[in-house]
Amino acid sequence: MRLGCEAPASLGIDRHLELMAHGLAAEAGLAPAIRYADAGSGLLVLDWLNEPDWRQAPGTLAALMPKVAQLHGLKVPDLPLLSLTQRVQHYLDQLHSLPAWLAPLLAAFERPALNPTFVPALCHCDLTAGNVLGPRPWLLDWEYAALADPAFELAVIADDRGLNDAGCNELLAHYRAAGGEMSAARLRARLPWVQLLTLLWAMVQHQHSGKAEYKDWLEAARALLTKSLG
């Protein structure tokens, strides 16, 4: 059972879109079945799966990437297209003040190299270890699902696992073997976007809660992003 959070819209969450994407994934065997859902409160009841998530029992890219490629190949109805620039602006709008160090980082995202063209696909957009369950694996927590660039999906996974160049090449090899199409250049272009959104999400969470863990999170994301952008 998942209880809803306060003010989900401030975190870029659309409960109706979440349930639509989760339902499509469940029909494809990628996510556990929904037994009850209330979009208004965010209450969600799923089949119980007595398996650890990948924070406790990390799985392999060989197990995960076929599921990701299958997700990206699903035929879906028209869904909103994720605009990374709009998502960035959404988080910026939530912040009461912006630190001076943020402006030069944001300016870097106007580079053409960081804005490749793409064919949209249904993406989970948050496939971190805590949202992947068991050896199957199951994909959980569809709050940020949308039509998006599959390269962004792969970048989320690569960033979460801390993959180096060799690790990213392994990820791409398993994805392509499962039928996905992706270039290394597109994956590299999306990694800074993941780091930026993680940074801004942590800033919003820290503003809401004041918890030190979010301060630590945003500082780590800032360091990664600064290094990625050179």
The answer as to whether 58 is a domain residue is: yes
The answer as to whether 1 is a domain residue is: no
The answer as to whether 99 is a domain residue is: yes
What is the spatial distance between Cα 220 and Cα 214, in angstroms, rounded to a whole number? 10
* pLDDT reading at 157 higher than 90: yes
Q: Average pLDDT for residues 177-199, to the nearest whole number?
A: 96
The answer as to whether 2 is a domain residue is: no
Residue 135, domain CATH: 3.90.1200.10
What is the spatial distance between Cα 217 and Cα 230, in angstroms, rounded to a whole number? 20
- Enter the pTM of the model: 0.91
pLDDT digits (tens, 9 = 90+) for 74-87: 988 778 899 999 99
The answer as to whether 194 is a domain residue is: yes
The answer as to whether 3 is a domain residue is: no
Q: What share of the chain is helix, strand, coil (3-state, %, to 5)?
A: 55, 10, 35
Tally of domains within the chain: 1
pLDDT digits (tens, 9 = 90+) for 108-138: 999 999 999 999 999 999 999 999 999 999 9
pLDDT digits (tens, 9 = 90+) for 82-108: 999 999 999 999 999 999 999 999 999
Range of the domain at 89: 8-228
H-helix or E-strand spanning residue 219: helix 212-228
